[in-house]
Structure 1
Amino acid sequence: MPRPVHFEIHASDPARAQAFYESTFGWKFQRFGDMDYWSITTGDEGDGINGGLTVRRGPEPAPDAPVNASPLTIAVDDIDAYIAAAERAGATVALPKDTVPGIGDLAYYKDTEGNIFGIIQPLPRT
């Protein structure tokens, strides 16, 4: 059964967001290559999940929005099969499938309630 393996924080000001999470929770950030993306380590390996920080794609949510979420990403063994299943169940594309170098194939969808989630087919571990 596929499980959440990663979360993402989308930020208009990544440096400000990083400072917030470092000072609040003690999380560690590491820039991922030349991309505007930072890996987040939230604790010891095997204890919870780690995440990422990225530049927001699109407008900031309204200040009075009741919930602005950080998407969970679910690891699967066949991304195309799970994309098809999600679409059959009523999901809509938020960001189409793309390859993240050194990581795997990743897509973002909105569920039937408008919540965004990620689906990733990680590269095989060597």
Structure 2
Amino acid sequence: MSEVTEKYAPGTPCWVDLMAPDQQAALDVYRDLFGWQGEIGPPEFGGYAMCLLNGKPVCGIGPAMAPPGQPAPPTVWTTYLSTDDADAAQAAITANGGTVMVPVMDVGTVGRMLIASDPTGAVFGVWQPLDFFGAQVVNEPGALTWNELHTGDPAKAKTFYKAVFGADIEPMSMAEAGDYHVLKVGGRPVGGVANLANAPAGMPAHWLTYFAVDDTDSTVDALVKRNGNVLVPPFDMPAGRMSVVADPQGAVFAVIKTKPM
């Protein structure tokens, strides 16, 4: 098991969560798909459920709740980037062309968070750890393994994430990678950046969450049996065999069986 025992460096994806219209249905689907254990949480945390894999936190699933007079939020997996100072990150986001959607708030004693979009339109979260630093298991079947920014303007994204988080976006060195880029923190790859110029017309900028699996094809088949949808059928690529899917409530994510390094 790839356990994480200390907080993530600023700019590193550290957590993902899903706000679902039917929280219990989502918990049931992902329990069957990935083996997560999670229960609806206490009212003081909005019922937010911490999902565990072998007893370790891997992600969160909460109920989708619309602010008074506002439409329901989209059903999406949100990537959170770690920071040492949420207030400073919020100010930097605004100063560098981003938009703050949910201002900094305290989450009990576990941390501080905000939701924003970058100048290219991709929505992400920011997490300042206090008692809780994020996912404690990664890169194992059923756990988070990669986070990927899809943007129509990689150059603008590069400037933004460098200014706000100190992260670098650099071309991938592999010849077969094409114009794929890598998000790096302290010289270490922590995520990917894909150019929407290669995507179907009209696709908005977004962050895509990848979960590791033992078998991509059987995982996709299992999701289809639970009324999920296949957006990109399983295929082989340099990092392994992957697929892009949507759960029964419409949340999009990717699954991948990575090749041995």
Q: CA deviation at 1:44?
A: 8.4
Post-superposition Cα deviations, 1:62-98, rounded to whole Å, max 9, x if no partner, equal xxxxxx7411100111111111111112211122222
Post-superposition Cα deviations, 1:11-51, rounded to whole Å, max 9, x if no partner, equal 01111112111111111223123412111124687xxx921
SS in 1 for 2:169: strand
The alignment covers a number of residue pairs equal to 115
Taking structure 1 as reference, are residues 43 and 93 closer, same or farther at Cα in structure 2, changes over 3 Å only? farther
Taking structure 1 as reference, are residues 12 and 72 closer, same or farther at Cα in structure 2, changes over 3 Å only? same
Amino acid at match of 1:54: A
The counterpart of 1:31, out of the listed 154, 167, 171, is 171
Contact 1:5 / 1:50 at 8 angstroms: preserved in 2?
no
SS in 2 for 1:107: strand
Give TM-score, length-normalised by structure 2: 0.40
Pairs within 5 Å for 1:1-126: 1=53, 2-32=142-172, 33-34=174-175, 35-42=178-185, 50-56=190-196, 57-58=199-200, 59-61=202-204, 69-101=206-238, 103-125=239-261
Q: Distance in 2 between matches of 1:69 and 1:30?
A: 18
Amino acid at match of 1:12: G
Q: Distance in 2 between matches of 1:108 and 1:60?
A: 14
SS in 1 for 2:148: strand
Taking structure 1 as reference, are residues 42 and 115 closer, same or farther at Cα in structure 2, changes over 3 Å only? farther
Taking structure 1 as reference, are residues 55 and 69 closer, same or farther at Cα in structure 2, changes over 3 Å only? closer
Contact 2:151 / 2:206 at 8 angstroms: preserved in 1?
no
For the aligned residue pairs, the C-alpha RMSD in angstroms reads 2.1
Q: Identity of counterpart residues, as a percentage? A: 27
Contact 2:220 / 2:230 at 8 angstroms: preserved in 1?
no
Taking structure 1 as reference, are residues 31 and 7 closer, same or farther at Cα in structure 2, changes over 3 Å only? same
Amino acid at match of 1:15: A
Q: Between the two structures, name the one with larger relative contact order (CA 8 Å, sep ≥ 6).
A: 1
Find runs of 4+ consecutive structure 1 residues off by over 3 angstroms.
Answer: 42-45
Give TM-score, length-normalised by structure 1: 0.79
Q: Distance in 1 between matches of 2:221 and 2:186?
A: 34
Contact 1:107 / 1:119 at 8 angstroms: preserved in 2?
yes
Contact 2:168 / 2:183 at 8 angstroms: preserved in 1?
yes
Q: Distance in 2 between matches of 1:52 and 1:112?
A: 26
What are structure 1's unaligned runs of at least 5 residues? 62-67
Amino acid at match of 1:120: I
What are structure 2's unaligned runs of at least 5 residues? 1-52, 54-141
SS in 1 for 2:163: helix
